[in-house]
Amino acid sequence: MTVTLVLVIAMAVLFSCGVYLLLERSLTRMLLGFLLLGNALNLLLLTMSGAAGDPPIGKTADGITDPLPQAFALTAIVITFAVSAFLLALIHRSWRLSRADEVEVDEADVAIRTDRQDPADDDPELAEDDSPRRHDPKSPEDADDPHETTPHATAPHATAPHETESRPRT
């Protein structure tokens, strides 16, 4: 196996373990998952930068290396450290307040999720597709449709008797 293949396998294992730990309810495991993702990202930057000693521009090496992946890796390390410090402060504060390391289920989020029974509530296009087709005389496909039988032939100010009786009063 080549060095690049070993790095790719290690990167894939770190990414998968990091995502698995991020999906846990324990804040400490979330922090560990974030740290694993940060290390996997550094390996990704290292493997994508190419072979060591290759020039960024040109054909001869002359001892030139590309500084951009190194700058990206350093930036990723700093960002991972800062977010990890923030997460560690959140974990410490949560432990001091509730003596628990678990993320609790938010009852308001559960109520919102259970209230949404109809997918048409979220997407207005679905609501239009599910409704019966209405006649629009201005649209080109409804302008001269001889097979269309809708009550649009009546005067606009006249209403059918069944519409006025079945409509609830407000």
Residue 53 has a pLDDT of 59
* Rg of the chain (C-alpha set): 31
Residue from 58, 25, 157, 164 nearest 66 by CA: 58
Mean pLDDT of residues grouped by 10 in the chain (170 residues)?
83 95 91 94 84 61 70 92 94 89 83 71 57 55 55 51 53
Can you tell me whether residue 121 is helix, strand or coil? helix
Q: How far apart are the first and last CA of the chain?
A: 77
CA 165, CA 163: separation in Å to the nearest integer? Answer: 6
pTM, entire model: 0.57
Report CA 10 to chain centroid distance, whole Å: 25
